Amino acid sequence: MNTAYLLTGGNMGNRAFHLQQAEQYIQQYCGEIVCSSSIYETAAWGFTDQPAFYNQALELKTMLSPDQLMRKLLEIELEMGRIRTQKMGPRIIDLDILLIDDLIIETELLSVPHPALPDRRFALMPLAEIAPLLMHPIEGKTITALLDACTDSLNVQKK
């Protein structure tokens, strides 16, 4: 059994509904969601000329391997209508694996821990809410410590 920490997000349509729908699909196809953070709203990161995002962190217990989990998450994105047309562009749903146990994985399909996690307040804040003492296997710091050191200046607000 693996413990995975996911970040769900989206900025198109009914953002809260899409996060709820994604959570249902993840529970159905990937494993048991044992904890979920509050929903946070953040201005778009990277390509900024788009609506604000809603994000939520999930703790998932899964029997799937990391690659199987990533493939299932990509299938869920497709099922929900995500079309990848513009990198960092608007999207109905985005499902990312932030961490899985204390694994370090670098494949064509998957990078765990998520390489941008220490630099993104919109991922660290919801993750710190549900797993503040979780250790980042590369940085050797807790999620709370990473959040305290994060230089990302985007405003992240709990909804």
Q: What is the pLDDT of residues 80-115, one digit of tens each?
A: 987 766 666 678 899 999 999 999 999 999 999 999
Determine the 3-state secondary structure of 58 from DSSP. Answer: strand
Those residues with Cβ within 8 angstroms of residue 38's Cβ, 6 or more apart along the chain or in another chain: 56, 126, 129, 158, 159
Q: What is the pLDDT of residues 116-153, one digit of tens each?
A: 999 999 999 999 999 999 999 999 999 999 999 999 98
Q: What is the pLDDT of residues 37-96, one digit of tens each?
A: 999 999 887 777 788 999 999 999 999 999 999 999 999 999 998 776 666 667 889 999
Beta bridge partners of 61: 3, 32
Residues known to be catalytic: 82, 91, 94, 96
The pLDDT score that the predictor gives to residue 49 is: 77
Query: Which domains can be identified in the chain, with CATH numbers?
Result: 2-158 (3.30.70.560)
Those residues with Cβ within 8 angstroms of residue 20's Cβ, 6 or more apart along the chain or in another chain: none
Token duo for residue 52:
């604000």
- pTM reported for the whole predicted model: 0.94
How many CA atoms within 13 Å lie on the side-chain side of 1?
7
Nearest to residue 117, comparing CAs of 146, 145, 142, 90? 146
